Each structure stands twice: as structure tokens, then as C-alpha cells.
Structure 1
Amino acid sequence: MLTDSTAYFSINHPFDVYLSPWDSAKPLPSPEQLAMMLPTSLQLISDVNALESDCLIQLRHLDDEAKAVVEFLKLQSRKIDMVLQHVMAKEEYEGTRYNGSRFGGSGITLVSTAPIELGQMFQVTLHIKEELVALLCLAKVKSCTLLEADTQANSETTSEAKPAQYACELAFSVIQDSDVEQLVKASLSIQQKQLKLRKLAR
């Protein structure tokens, strides 16, 4: 479980997020109880990620002669990732879907067409396709800011303005340590990819 003083690096990147209001009359679950709430698909992804992480730690101790084995295991890992991405794409997650815009180990930011009440607690499902991250947690709305509206016409046939959009920041209240680790690794991985793209664009 995170505390108010917990702070992690975060990065701008699109992802899917699903919110279900948490009944304020119910106590918050512990991280262990949260793990028991995982649907089968999320539990599968969590287990696979944990196994891969353990395997990578062991591979670091292999010598150069084992490089062929390492490459073979990486290939198998990519195959498994492709299957899991298909599973994630087919999954119907509970809650209202929003477009996420920023994430890190301590919270997320999403875009909403209506303001979300400050302090509201939500059961949150995150789905970051590119990094094979799918997790369940509880988070509280920390801020909700109106983004600059685009009031120009969006086609030749209509003069209607686009709806207002709000950037809503949610801080994690209950989340498993392994999921925080996943988010931290994903944010660093995406940052590296973004830096490589910038270098290629120069």
C-alpha cells in the first residue's frame, strides 16, 4: 500500500483505464485481498510477469556460452507476450472506460469529458498494451483540471464546439508491490523507446 509521501517517476503515454466507484461504506481491501479480486485473465498476466522477472534475474548469472539459450528464451517470451496481448484485447473489463494520458508508480492521469469528484475512490483496471501491463488497484481522485477547449469548427458541415475535457489525476491507495514494480519498469521502458525515437528523428 502506498503512503502520501510515496512518489515515483511518471511518463506521458496513452493507455486504457476503467473506473468503478468504490462504495464508501466498504472498508478498503488489503493488497492481499486485492489479489483475490483479480479476474482470471489479470491473474494469468500477473503470474506470467512474475515468472519472467524471476527468470531474467537467473539469466544474468549465465556465462557467454549460454547466449543461445538466452536468445531462445527471449523468443519464447515474445510468443507468450503475443498470446497475452490477444487475451487482453478480448477481455471485457468492469467499469467506465477512459483514455489514460500519464502513469507512474504512484498514480495515473486520465482524460474525462466531465469532472470527477475530488476524493472519490475508484476500483481501477489499467491496461497498457505495449508493455503487457494489466492490473487492478484502488485509487483516489487527487485533482481534476479543465483542459483548454477547442472552440473551432470540426468540419465544414458543423460549427459545434468540441466538448470540454478534464485532466483527472488519481493517486493509488491500494496496490500490490509487484504491480508498482510493473508500472515503474513500464514507464522506464517507454521513456527509453521515446528517447530512441527522438534520436532517430534528428
Structure 2
Amino acid sequence: MIPDSNSYFSVPHNFNAYLSPWDASQGLPSEDELKDMQSVGLRLLTEVKNLEASCLLQLRHLDNDAKAVVDFLKLQSRKVDLVLQHVLEKEVQEGQQVSGNQFGGSGISITSSFALNVGDYHKTHLYLHTELVALLCICQVKQCTPINQDEPNQVPQWHCELEFSQILEDDIEQLVKASLAVQQKMLKKRKQNIDKQRR
């Protein structure tokens, strides 16, 4: 369960999510039950990422001569993550696909071709490709508003905000790190654009 829904910031980012209705009458799954619901591929990716993080943390304590080794290992671990995520995406996905447009440690914002009922729970698979994050969680719909409804030729769409109701602590950590990385990239890009305009 997430500690405080207001304790994390969100960043704009495009990603894929798959939603399956979750029957609230059966209650929310425990962390162990949520882990049991993960596919083999998802468990493998999580385990590999945890091992990588642990090893890289230990290597940071080595002297400057080890920097090249650390950089090389980071590159190798990224390659493994890419391959695992590719394999994961090839798995038969459960649920209806929606387009994510914002995420953080508290929840996600999506654009959907179907309306979601506020208060409903959904088992949710998230795939943040560029940040190499893939996870499973339970979300609750907090808001769902129609967009493009005034234009006759537009396909109906809804903008929905979902809050994490049950998510693993390691996955929150992954999302927080990913949101910081996305924010850094945005700031870097903005700085480059400002520098270009000054020339």
C-alpha cells in the first residue's frame, strides 16, 4: 500500500498500460498475493533489476579506477533489461490497452477509448519503455472526463486519473527513480532549447 498519495510528484510521459476490472468485493491483494499474480517474465525482470541495483551500489564504494568497470556493467545491465522488456511485451497481454500520459509514485493519468467508473478498481500492467520499467499493481479510478466529445468526427476518448491502491514498495521506488530521470531529461532538453535561442 502506498504511504501518502500526495507525497510523490508526476511527470508527463507516454507509456502503455493494460487494465482489467478488479472485483472490490474480494478486497485488495496483499503484497505476497500481488507478487503471485505477476507473470514469470515480470518476476524475472524485477529480480534482475534488484540484483543490478544491489551490485552497482556496492561497486560505487570502489575507487575511481573502477568507474570504467561500473559504466560497462551499467551498459550490460541495460542490455539485459531491454531484452527482458522486449520478451515481456511479446507476452499475451491481459486487459484493455490504454495510453498513459503521466506517471509518478502515486498514480497514473491515461487516455482511454472507453469510460471508467470513478471508484472502480483495475488490475493494471504498466510498461514504461524508455525507462525500462514494467510492473503490476491495483489502481482505483479517481477521475474520468470526456475529451473531444464536441467534435462530431472525433472518436470518443476519456482522460482518467488512477491512484495506486496496492503496489510493491520496490515498484514505487522504480517509478520515483524513473520520474526523476524523465524530469532530468526534460530540464536538459529545455536548457538546450534556451541555449539554441540565445545563439
Quote the Cα distance in structure 2 between the aligned partners of 1:147 and 1:7. Answer: 28
Range with greater deviation from structure 2 (86-95 or 29-38): 86-95
Corresponding residue number in structure 2 for 1:70: 70
3-state SS of 2:68 partner: helix
Name the amino acid aligned to 1:126. Answer: L
3-state SS of 1:47 partner: helix
Quote the Cα distance in structure 1 between the aligned partners of 2:38 and 2:28. Answer: 15
Structure 1 segments of 4+ aligned residues over 3 angstroms from their partners: 3-6
Corresponding residue number in structure 2 for 1:11: 11
Matches within 5 A, 1:1-202: 1-3=1-3, 5-149=5-149, 151=151, 161-202=153-194
Name the amino acid aligned to 1:99. Answer: S
3-state SS of 2:26 partner: coil
Q: Where do 5+ consecutive residues of structure 2 fail to align?
A: 195-199
Range with greater deviation from structure 2 (12-21 or 164-173): 164-173
Range with greater deviation from structure 2 (22-31 or 165-174): 22-31
Structure 1 position 24, deviation (Å) = 2.6
Quote the Cα distance in structure 1 between the aligned partners of 2:2 and 2:75. Answer: 35
Q: Where do 5+ consecutive residues of structure 1 fail to align?
A: 152-159
Corresponding residue number in structure 1 for 2:197: none
Quote the Cα distance in structure 1 between the aligned partners of 2:2 and 2:179. Answer: 18
Deviations 1:88-133 (A, max 9, x none): 3312221100001111001011111232101001101001111111
Number of residues of Structure 1 aligned to a counterpart in Structure 2:
194
TM-score (norm 1): 0.89
TM-score (norm 2): 0.90
Structure 1 position 196, deviation (Å) = 1.4
3-state SS of 2:25 partner: coil
Quote the Cα distance in structure 1 between the aligned partners of 2:165 and 2:190. Answer: 35
Name the amino acid aligned to 2:188. Answer: K
Contact 1:17 1:127 in 2 (8 A): yes
Change (3 A) 1:67 1:5: closer
Q: Identity over the aligned pairs, expressed in percent?
A: 52
Quote the Cα distance in structure 2 between the aligned partners of 1:4 and 1:115. Answer: 27
Contact 1:17 1:99 in 2 (8 A): yes
